[in-house]
Amino acid sequence: MTPPKTLRIDFVSDVACPWCAIGLWGLQIALDRLQDVVRAEIHPQPFQLNPDMPPEGEDIGEHLMRKYGMGQAQLEASQEAIRQRGASVGFEFRMDRRSRTWNTFEAHRLLHWAEQPGQPPGAALALKRALLRAYFTDGLNPGDRELLCVEAGRVGLDAEAARAVLERAEFTDAVRARMRRWTSAGIQAVPAIVIDERHLIEGGQPPDLFERALRQLAAG
């Protein structure tokens, strides 16, 4: 029997991106189906949809309508479509709890720290999933340092060490450099799923598409 092929997957995304949650949960479904074919090493990579967002955030409805030129009816239809796509992959969007959008740079710094040598295996991915749920399901601020420390502790990281990282502004330059790397590579929208640094799957695709693509890459 042929052993599973190991693939590196760089998941370029933002904590404030609903399609990133849909894509990550859909990708996991595909990987669960392919356990005998593919062994994935998923590395969260930083991207900011709104790097100039102030720390106090902005009303989410006003922000989306201005950014995408939507009316209220269009916004509600888009939010419902997102909610249904999330439900199809097991992710719960609670639009009634999410009234604001915030700057996510602090979250990206902590995610970068969670990938450093010596941290528990898979901690960065677990933290990424936790922060997506905190924002989209619970309506919490993913830029809030206290929340970040709590979620870090919940996924097996040292909460006090996380607090020190945030207070000392560690990894600021490293995260900005990674963001530049991905935009320089041509990525302008997320999620972007980069496999073995050669193959790109764009968007929050359905699990079936991820499954087909990964099966082909594993066989190649």
Sign of the torsion formed by the C-alpha atoms of 93, 95, 98 and 100: positive
218 DSSP assignment: H
Inform me whether the pLDDT recorded for 118 exceeds 90.
yes
For 31-90, what is each residue's pLDDT tens digit? 999 999 999 999 999 999 999 999 889 999 999 999 999 999 999 999 999 999 999 999
CATH topology of domain 5-219: Glutaredoxin (3.40.30)
Which pLDDT does position 57 carry in this prediction? 94
Question: What integer best gives the mean pLDDT of the chain?
Answer: 96
Q: Which of 26, 140, 40, 39 is nearest to 87 (CA)?
A: 26
Inform me whether the pLDDT recorded for 1 exceeds 80.
no
Q: What is the mean pLDDT of residues 123-135?
A: 98
- pTM (whole model) above 0.85: yes
Inform me whether the pLDDT recorded for 163 exceeds 80.
yes
Q: Which of 205, 184, 181 is nearest to 193 (CA)?
A: 205
Residues 6+ apart with CB under 8 A from 65: 71, 72, 75
Q: Give the CA distances from residue 27 to residues 79, 83, 192, in Å, rounded to whole numbers and listed in that order.
A: 21, 17, 12
Q: Which of 20, 28, 165, 155 is nearest to 107 (CA)?
A: 165
